[in-house]
């Protein structure tokens, strides 16, 4: 594992969304207030492009080391739920499992469970303005209002401090660590 890091400052979300869409990159994010409970809701998350059929395996290989059948969650803009799922419900805490509409499942294979469902997190601007805008930016570029979201940890509690985030990042093969409130992007290799 490479212990050298590359730090870039004054990075904006648009640049990070572009990285997310490129080369099956996996990006950890840290910012905002602490998150309690079992689910990461955008402030302490590992994010990835849900359109990639390989993404679930990539995340398991790079950081999570989970069984192949364990799913990852879709974070979706609240107003888009009706277009992607058979029911239109709120699920801001990733606590509800809904069935994807059959005609859209192929668009986001990394977050569709074996039975065609997803344990979704609905995101509104009032819930988390940064995360809402980040997903919306991804939607504008791809037409998909969903990101793969999993907790920023590796077989330990969700990261709580910037130093804990850096330690977890360095101990895994996550591609980037983004401190979004400060516009700082860290990678283990020079960004091309």
Using the predicted structure, report yes or no on whether residue 38 has a pLDDT greater than 80.
no
Instruction: Give the per-residue pLDDT at 108.
Output: 98
Residue 181 belongs to a domain: yes
Calculate what percentage of the chain has a pLDDT beyond 90: 82
Instruction: Give the per-residue pLDDT at 192.
Output: 58
Instruction: Give the per-residue pLDDT at 3.
Output: 65
Residue 1 belongs to a domain: no
Residue 7 belongs to a domain: no
Residue 6 belongs to a domain: no
pLDDT in tens, 138-160: 999 999 999 999 999 998 899 99
CA distances from 150 to 42, 56, 120, 147, 184 (A): 9, 11, 11, 10, 21
Binned at pLDDT 50, 70 and 90, residue 191 comes out as low
Distance CA 182, CA 137 (A): 18
Residue 31 belongs to a domain: yes
pLDDT in tens, 171-186: 999 999 999 999 999 9
Distance CA 178, CA 76 (A): 20
Distance CA 70, CA 183 (A): 32
pLDDT in tens, 99-126: 999 999 999 999 999 999 999 999 999 9
Domain count for the chain, please give it. 1
Which CATH number belongs to the domain containing residue 180 in this structure? 3.90.870.20
Residue 8 belongs to a domain: no
The residue range of the domain holding 116 is: 13-186
29-36 CB contacts, 8 Å cutoff, 24+ apart: 29/152, 29/177, 29/178, 29/180, 30/152, 30/159, 30/162, 30/165, 30/177, 30/178, 30/179, 30/180, 31/130, 31/179, 31/180, 31/181, 31/182, 32/128, 32/130, 32/181, 34/160, 35/158
Instruction: Centre a 10 Å sphere on the Cβ of residue 2 and count the other Cβ atoms it contains.
Output: 10
N-terminal to C-terminal alpha carbon distance within the chain: 19
Residue 51 belongs to a domain: yes
* DSSP β-ladder status, 27-30 and 6-8: unpaired
């Amino acid at each position: 594992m490479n212990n050298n890091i590359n730090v870039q400052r004054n990075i904006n979300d648009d640049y990070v969304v572009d990285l997310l869409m490129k080369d099956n990159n996996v990006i950890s994010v840290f910012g905002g207030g602490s998150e309690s409970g079992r689910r990461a809701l955008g402030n302490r998350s590992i994010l990835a492009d849900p359109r990639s059929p390989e993404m679930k395996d990539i995340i398991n290989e790079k950081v999570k080391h989970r069984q192949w059948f364990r799913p990852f969650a879709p974070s979706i803009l609240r107003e888009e739920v009706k277009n992607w799922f058979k029911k239109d419900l709120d699920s801001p805490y990733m606590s509800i499992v809904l069935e994807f509409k059959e005609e859209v499942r192929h668009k986001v294979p990394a977050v569709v469970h074996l039975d065609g469902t997803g344990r979704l997190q609905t995101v509104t601007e009032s819930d988390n303005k940064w995360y809402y805008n980040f997903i919306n930016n991804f939607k504008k570029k791809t037409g998909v209002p969903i990101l793969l979201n999993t907790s920023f940890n590796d077989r330990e509690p969700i990261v709580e401090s910037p130093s804990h985030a850096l330690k977890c990042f360095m101990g895994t093969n996550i591609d980037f660590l983004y401190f979004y409130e400060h516009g700082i992007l860290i990678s283990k290799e020079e960004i091309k």
